[in-house]
């Protein structure tokens, strides 16, 4: 029979100890072996003294006592490794050791590696992680020249740091630079490298590593990972020169530059000048367009002026859970992207369980559920009074500073919200399918979901005002209120420790739980296992930002191998906004799917199968299907609003980048110039390119607004002219869609149409040329697809109304 190692302690041996050198602990640990499950062996030993094992802490019960070559070892071998490490034997099989020291001893025997109390992780890659490594390695090997780039479009909890390191091992890389605009992810990159036995030979460097030590590690011949934030790399000393420690980054020939959290700021001109010098000019123009189009929702992202910095690398690896803009703008083709979505994850979790067999590696990843709540008639009237364009949570929870504190501008409205989430505002408690509509702090089914929550707000003022209000409230004052906002909460990962203490304080003191108030802090790069639900109390425009926040609460949570969180919850209070983003998310997933036949409807069907959505209005609850989501998302669309959508400027990307690409395509230009409206397209595109270059130069040289104005004026004029021409083409595309027999639901369906003659007759432009405009990024794929779907939805509803009228 197989040998297993187990370890436990109990209340009788809660004896503090201190070791020379400063190491200390609170208990002795017993290390033994058994051929049966460890818990049975422990029960045999201590059940008399500790009936029911009360007071016994089983640290692990079934570590396989087997080496890599198949030979077995015993508990005496573990004792020997501990003794050789200077760990005192307290008598018999008891040791003055930490749990990690005991694990380290077992791992050293299992793997045949030196003892290390910090390198105790041995888990293997999951199937999708192996696929990512194999596909990416194959791509890099097939493209050895030109610093190829590859994107991992992988949701949170994919394991990007661990998998990146596995890719580095597979490729034989020796020097890897990790850059990010989110310094909070540093802990994950450090811990995964230093805690897993697969990377035992690797060195780690970051901003806390002394310069001389960092240089020595790079020169040691051992593979090295250097972690840096863009904020640090782009920083300057008092004289405006690069920081001395960062000069090394420019000298080293890197095997790979990894951009983590790529959707946060990495596409700005400043960032791209650092990691992608080939795109210097393109990045500068893209930055101008990025600012103009107001793409970013995350206030923590800092845009820094471009320095004179270059990095040399063989490969680029970009990591993001929501890189929709980069993909739809044509920055990557299908061969450069590995996809792993929430749908993929939950489908694999389900199918693994159906197959049976070994332990399901996805079991600890909770399923998500969304509950949307209408804020009631008062909020609807307030939102429609003409002061605001529709209901807006940022305005609803707007706060201001008064004296030394913060208060809400509409305290009565916020008080109504607190009543709503406790179910006190509902008069008509209609019973639906045997139960009343549930409210977060009222329904028994949400008891565990709201024990530890995060409330995502718009700014520091609203967080502080909410904290003050909750601490005065008789019900919510029973929760530990932690404000993760402002400089006082710490920067990046440093904000995590106070939160962890707050959660422990809540549990130890018998409080109802904890409420974390954040406007962005701790929403990227850190894991808070206890968070089980998120309250969306800010208005986010982009699906990237929304789902990055939502998936924060999907982190696994285990205690003693027992899964504590089977389901994670999103509580949403602007249903139209939320469900529009869900619909758009489905569109983006469909657009990025390698299967071109995927539609928004089919992807949404898969999504809500694994992310059920429930809408609560008053006392009534409705489980939403695909049609209901689309009804909510496109609800109220009229002919006028549809017309405005098709005339919107965000359907086109007219900037120096796209116009330069257009100029390079002589065949496309020649065809466009044959169309009356596009006779001057070449001249106008060249003007935009030239003026964009000049404007970028003026800005980099610190030119005044007065010096920038003539360049901006001409760029704006030429962009407006080209957009007006393209709007006419788009209007004709609508005619084509109306006439064709195929029901297009995305831009790809238009481009891939077989009816090329009809398209030419309808628009005056050949279908291949229209496809080229899309490939060049002149037509915004995501926004155009959204417009197409709105047209189809309006057409469908109009036909249904017509049929109903004729039937009547």
Residue with tokens 């297009």: 744
More confident residue, 39 or 622: 622
The pTM (predicted TM-score) of the whole model is: 0.74
pLDDT greater than 70 at residue 384: no
Q: Which two tokens stand for residue 428?
A: 């008509």
* DSSP one-letter string for 195-212: HBGGGTT-EEE-TTS-HH
Q: What average pLDDT score do residues 493-511 get?
A: 89
The residues near 100 (Cβ < 8 Å, ≥ 6 apart) are: 117, 118, 120
pLDDT greater than 90 at residue 39: no
β-strand partners of 153: 320, 339
The residues near 134 (Cβ < 8 Å, ≥ 6 apart) are: none
Spatial separation of the C-alpha atoms in residues 805 and 803, rounded to whole Å = 5
* CA neighbours closer than 13 Å in the CB half-sphere of residue 661: 20
Q: What average pLDDT score do residues 142-159 get?
A: 90
**Proportion of the chain above pLDDT 90, given as a percent:** 46
Model confidence at 283, in pLDDT bands (50, 70, 90)?
very low
* DSSP one-letter string for 572-636: ES-HHHHHHHHHHHHHHHHHH-S-TT--HHHHHHHHHHHS-EEEEETTEEEE--HHHHHHHHTTT
204, 246, 211, 243: which is closest to 226 by C-alpha?
204
Model confidence at 185, in pLDDT bands (50, 70, 90)?
confident
More confident residue, 473 or 546: 473
pLDDT computed for residue 328 by the predictor: 56
pLDDT computed for residue 278 by the predictor: 40
pLDDT greater than 50 at residue 683: yes
Q: Quote the DSSP letter at residue 464.
A: H
Model confidence at 265, in pLDDT bands (50, 70, 90)?
low
Kindly give the pairing relationship between strand 533-536 and strand 567-572: parallel
Cα three-residue angle 120-121-127, rounded to 5 degrees: 165
* DSSP one-letter string for 256-310: EEEEESTTTTTTSHHHHHHH-GGGHHHHHHHHHHHHHHT----TT----PPPS--
pLDDT computed for residue 402 by the predictor: 94
Spatial separation of the C-alpha atoms in residues 50 and 42, rounded to whole Å = 10
pLDDT computed for residue 269 by the predictor: 42
pLDDT computed for residue 358 by the predictor: 73
For residue 761, give the 3-state DSSP assignment: helix
Q: Strands (DSSP E) along 69-174, which ranges? A: 89-91, 94-95, 149-154
Kindly give the pairing relationship between strand 435-436 and strand 431-432: antiparallel
pLDDT greater than 50 at residue 281: no
Distances (CA, A) of 380 to 374, 386, 535: 9, 11, 20
Q: What average pLDDT score do residues 87-102 get?
A: 93
Spatial separation of the C-alpha atoms in residues 367 and 583, rounded to whole Å = 19
Q: Quote the DSSP letter at residue 494.
A: G
Contact 656, 722 (CB under 8 A): no
More confident residue, 593 or 30: 30
Distances (CA, A) of 173 to 130, 145, 221, 395: 17, 16, 11, 50
Model confidence at 274, in pLDDT bands (50, 70, 90)?
very low
Model confidence at 591, in pLDDT bands (50, 70, 90)?
low
Q: Which two tokens stand for residue 585?
A: 């998310």
Sign of CA dihedral 271, 275, 280, 285: negative
pLDDT computed for residue 66 by the predictor: 93
431 backbone dihedrals φ, ψ, rounded to 5°: -85, 120
pLDDT computed for residue 193 by the predictor: 95
Distances (CA, A) of 714 to 655, 695, 705: 12, 11, 14
More confident residue, 752 or 79: 79
pLDDT computed for residue 227 by the predictor: 95
Average pLDDT value for the chain: 83
Spatial separation of the C-alpha atoms in residues 265 and 256, rounded to whole Å = 19
DSSP3 helix / strand / coil % (the chain, rounded to 5): 50, 15, 35
| Structure confidence by residue, pLDDT tens digits, 400-442 | 999 989 999 999 999 999 999 998 865 444 444 434 678 999 9
Spatial separation of the C-alpha atoms in residues 747 and 382, rounded to whole Å = 37
pLDDT greater than 90 at residue 74: yes
pLDDT computed for residue 603 by the predictor: 84
How far is the first Cα of the chain from the last one, in angstroms, to the nearest whole number?
A: 78
* CA neighbours closer than 13 Å in the CB half-sphere of residue 467: 22
The residues near 204 (Cβ < 8 Å, ≥ 6 apart) are: 189, 190, 193, 194, 224, 225, 227
Q: What average pLDDT score do residues 334-350 get?
A: 91
């Amino acid at each position: 029979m197989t040998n297993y190692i187990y370890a436990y302690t109990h209340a009788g041996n809660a004896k503090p100890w201190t070791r020379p050198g400063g190491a200390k602990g609170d208990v002795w640990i017993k290390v033994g072996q058994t051929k049966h499950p460890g818990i049975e062996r422990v029960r045999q030993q201590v059940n008399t003294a500790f009936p029911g094992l009360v007071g016994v802490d089983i640290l692990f019960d079934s570590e396989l006592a087997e080496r890599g070559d198949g030979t077995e070892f015993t508990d005496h071998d573990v004792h020997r490794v501990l003794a050789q490490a200077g760990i005192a034997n307290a008598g018999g099989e008891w040791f003055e050791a930490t749990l990690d020291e005991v694990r380290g001893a077992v791992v050293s025997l299992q793997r045949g590696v030196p003892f290390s109390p910090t390198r105790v992780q041995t888990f293997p890659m999951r199937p999708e992680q192996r696929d990512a490594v194999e596909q990416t390695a194959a791509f890099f090997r097939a493209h050895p020249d030109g610093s190829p780039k590859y994107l991992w479009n992988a949701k949170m909890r994919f394991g990007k740091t661990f998998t990146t390191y596995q890719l580095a091992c597979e490729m034989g890389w020796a020097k890897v630079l990790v850059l990010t605009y989110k310094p909070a992810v540093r802990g994950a990159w450090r811990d995964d490298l230093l805690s897993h036995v697969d990377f035992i030979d690797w060195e780690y460097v970051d901003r806390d590593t002394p310069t001389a030590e960092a240089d020595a590690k790079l020169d040691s011949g051992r593979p090295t990972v250097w972690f840096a934030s863009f904020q640090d790399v782009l920083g300057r000393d008092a004289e405006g020169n690069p920081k001395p420690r960062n000069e090394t980054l420019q000298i080293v020939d890197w095997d790979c530059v990894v951009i983590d959290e790529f959707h946060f700021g990495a596409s700005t001109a400043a960032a791209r000048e650092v990691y992608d010098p080939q795109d210097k000019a393109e990045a500068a123009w893209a930055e101008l367009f990025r600012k103009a189009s107001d793409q970013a929702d995350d206030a923590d992202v800092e845009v820094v002026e471009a320095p004179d910095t270059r990095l040399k690398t063989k490969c680029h690896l970009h990591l993001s859970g929501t890189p929709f803009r980069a993909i739809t703008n044509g920055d990557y083709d299908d061969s450069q992207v590995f996809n792993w979505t929430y749908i993929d994850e939950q489908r694999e979790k389900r199918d693994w369980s159906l197959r049976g067999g070994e332990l399901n590696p996805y079991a600890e990843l909770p399923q998500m559920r969304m509950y949307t709540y209408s804020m009631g008639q008062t909020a609807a009237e307030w939102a429609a009074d003409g002061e605001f364009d529709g209901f807006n949570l940022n305005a609803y929870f707007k706060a201001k500073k008064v004296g030394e504190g913060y208060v809400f501008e509409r305290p009565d409205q916020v008080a109504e919200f607190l009543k709503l989430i406790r179910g006190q505002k509902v008069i008509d408690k209609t019973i639906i399918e045997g139960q009343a509509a549930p409210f977060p702090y009222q329904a028994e089914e949400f008891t565990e979901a709201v024990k530890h929550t995060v409330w995502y707000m718009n700014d520091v003022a609203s967080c502080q005002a909410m904290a003050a209000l909750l601490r005065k409230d008789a019900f919510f004052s029973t929760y530990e209120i932690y404000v993760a906002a402002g400089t006082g909460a710490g920067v990046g990962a440093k904000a995590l420790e106070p939160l962890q203490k707050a959660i422990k304080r809540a549990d130890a003191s018998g409080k109802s739980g904890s409420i974390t108030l954040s406007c962005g802090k701790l929403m990227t790069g850190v894991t808070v296992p206890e968070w089980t639900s998120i309250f969306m109390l800010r208005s986010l425009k982009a699906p990237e930002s929304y789902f990055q926040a939502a998936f924060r609460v999907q982190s696994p949570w285990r205690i003693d191998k027992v899964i504590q969180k089977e389901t994670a919850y999103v509580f949403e209070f602007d249903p139209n906004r939320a469900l529009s983003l869900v619909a758009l998310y489905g569109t983006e997933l469909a657009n990025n799917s390698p299967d071109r036949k995927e539609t928004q409807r089919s992807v949404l069907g898969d999504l809500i199968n694994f992310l059920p959505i429930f809408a609560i209005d008053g006392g009534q609850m409705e489980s939403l299907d695909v049609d209901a989501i689309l009804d909510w998302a496109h609800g109220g669309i009229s002919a006028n609003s549809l017309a405005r959508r098709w005339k919107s400027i965000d359907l086109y990307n007219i900037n120096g980048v796209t116009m330069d690409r257009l100029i390079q395509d002589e065949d496309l230009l020649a065809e466009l110039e044959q169309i009356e409206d596009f006779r001057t397209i070449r001249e106008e595109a060249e003007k935009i390119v030239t003026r964009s270059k000049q404007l970028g130069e003026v800005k980099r040289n610190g030119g005044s607004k007065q010096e920038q104005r003539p360049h901006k004026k001409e760029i704006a004029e030429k962009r407006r002219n080209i957009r007006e021409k393209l709007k006419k083409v788009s209007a004709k595309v609508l005619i084509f869609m109306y006439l064709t027999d195929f029901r297009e639901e995305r831009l790809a369906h238009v481009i891939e149409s077989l009816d090329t003659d009809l398209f030419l007759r309808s628009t005056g432009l050949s279908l291949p040329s229209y496809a080229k405009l899309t490939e060049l990024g002149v037509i915004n794929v995501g926004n155009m697809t959204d417009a197409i779907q709105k047209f189809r939805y309006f057409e469908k509803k109009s036909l249904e109304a017509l049929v109903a009228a004729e039937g009547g």
